[in-house]
Amino acid sequence: MAATPGQYSALSHLDCSACDRRYDAAQVCGTCECGAPLLARYDTERVAALVNRSDIAARPADLWRYHELLPVGDAGHVVSLGEGMTPLLALPRLGSKLGVPGLLMKDEGLIPTGTFKARGAAVGVSRAAELGMSGVAMPTNGNAGAAWAVYAARAGLASLIVMPTRAPEITRVECAAAGAELYLVDGLINDAGRLVAAALAARPGYQDTSTLKEPYRVEGKKTMGLEIAEQLGWRLPDVIVYPTGGGVGIIGIYKALLELRELGWVDGELPRLVAVQAAGCAPIVKALHAGADESEPWPDPKTVAFGLTVPKALGDFLVLDAIRATGGTAIAVRDTELLADQRTVASLEGCFVCPEGAACFTAVRRLRESGWLAQRDQVVVLNTGSGLKYPGTVPVRAGAEVPVLTRSDCIPAPAAPAAPAPIRRARTASRRGTRA
């Protein structure tokens, strides 16, 4: 039976994030005439009439369970690889080491293409196809390009991807395997952006899906916020810690929290939002502490957490708003610290997180030491991707870090065998919800 129009999605229109212009969501839109990002708005009364929290609980464990709050108008246009409802894991050993026993990690490593970028790609590609586009084109630090290339392939759309030569190599492989038109640039994501903008002139039917230059990627990413609330039983944590490059994730999470509050599905204080950047590229941290409304381009950005190499984000003012409105903060961490913490998380909890995710654990350590975080705080860290996408971050050269034995060698006894400490597992949320 065909769905009644407006039943699958309660999308109403697009609002400019900076001025009071309003746009028709049925048209293909980029940014506002004033240059600022557009944000999707929903008819909240309609959402409330169509669905409630128990209906959602009965739906499949993917991000489309929130379809009334997503922009795709017809279920038949959904392009999916099974994304969403990633686990919200308790980290009791790490939490007690860092002095934050209520530490949780939302693990986006367990999603198609191994990073949270799949969320934006699933929703953005589905909507681009629904609006009749024939291709998508974007600059990327690697992970987003990989995600958009595979979702475009799944949708039968073409993709044009440009990434810096220093982006994680596996993301190139993913784009090439998915048949993307792929180019590398000896430069930064902003340089890639200029090349994409020029190439679009010769590609009618392609949408410019650069960060925040179309309104729907952020809608996919906001589902991280919806899931955190649902997995905690429609309660919000005290703090959410997020590795921030272009800022789409943190803007999306904040947007989700506001929409949930407007619907009355959550109440009380919003979580304090923390933007984590690398010391080698921290324009938002600098702007926040300088009291500025937007950031200055960061000169010569460099970090092993490559997704954070964004010298100036189009949505920087929205990130700053979200942090200030929730009483949050922004903090920069050094590569040496985050690489050490990447190993600590893996050795204490068995989770091999990406360097961007590792940066958030360093931030938790530092914010607890400074007293900004209290012991009683429930803190959710977003691990935005799998460490498997960055194998070079842990050196394991044969004969250097790892011994090589001949067949006749014996494995030496460990120096000081230690009895394993008993552990108590805290509440753990599964892919399908929360489990005690």
Give the three-state DSSP class for 323.
helix
Contact 120, 217 (CB under 8 A): yes
- CB of residue 45 vs ligand PLP: minimum separation in angstroms? 30
Contact criterion met (CB below 8 Å) for 239 and 204: no
Q: Which helix (H) or strand (E) holds 278?
A: strand 272-278
- Between 36 and 359, CB nearer to Zn ion: 36
Nearer to ligand PLP, 31 or 141 (CB): 141
Q: What single letter denotes the amino acid at residue 116?
A: F
Residue 39 binding Zn ion, by CB under 5 A: no
* Structure tokens, 332: 């920069």
Tokens for 210, please give them: 């650069």
H/E stretch holding 331: strand 329-333
Q: Which stretch binds Zn ion (CB under 5 A): 33-41, 179-187, 253-261, 287-295?
A: 33-41
Closest to Zn ion by CB, 17 vs 80, is 17
List contacts with ligand PLP (CB under 6 A). 115, 141, 143-144, 243-249, 307, 354, 356, 384-385
Give the residue, chosen from 10, 11, 25, 32, that forms a contact with Zn ion under the rule CB under 5 A: 32
Q: Which is nearer to ligand PLP, 135 or 139 (CB)?
A: 139
**Is 248:120 a contact under the CB 8 Å cutoff?**
yes
Q: Binding residues for Zn ion, how many (CB under 5 A)?
A: 7
Given Zn ion, ligand PLP, none, residue 244, with its beta carbon under 5 to 8 Å by kind, binds ligand PLP
Place of tokens 């039917």: 205
Report which of 220, 71, 72, 204 is spatially closest to residue 137, judged by C-alpha positions.
204
- Point out which span in 3-11, 17-25, 302-310, 318-326 binds Zn ion (CB under 5 A): 17-25
In angstroms, what is the minimal distance from the CB of 215 to Zn ion? Answer: 12
> What is the SS3 assignment for 136?
strand
Would you give the distance in Å from CA 430 to the centre of its chain?
19
One residue of 3, 26, 28, 34 binding Zn ion per CB under 5 A: 34
Q: Which of residues 339-368 bind Zn ion (CB under 5 A)?
A: none
Q: Which does 328 bind (CB under 5 to 8 A by kind): ligand PLP, Zn ion, none?
A: none
Residue 113 CB: number of other CB atoms within 10 A? Answer: 26
- Residue whose entry in the numeric block shows the structure tokens 């980290």: 91
Binding residues for Zn ion, rule: CB under 5 A, are: 16, 18-19, 21, 32, 34, 36
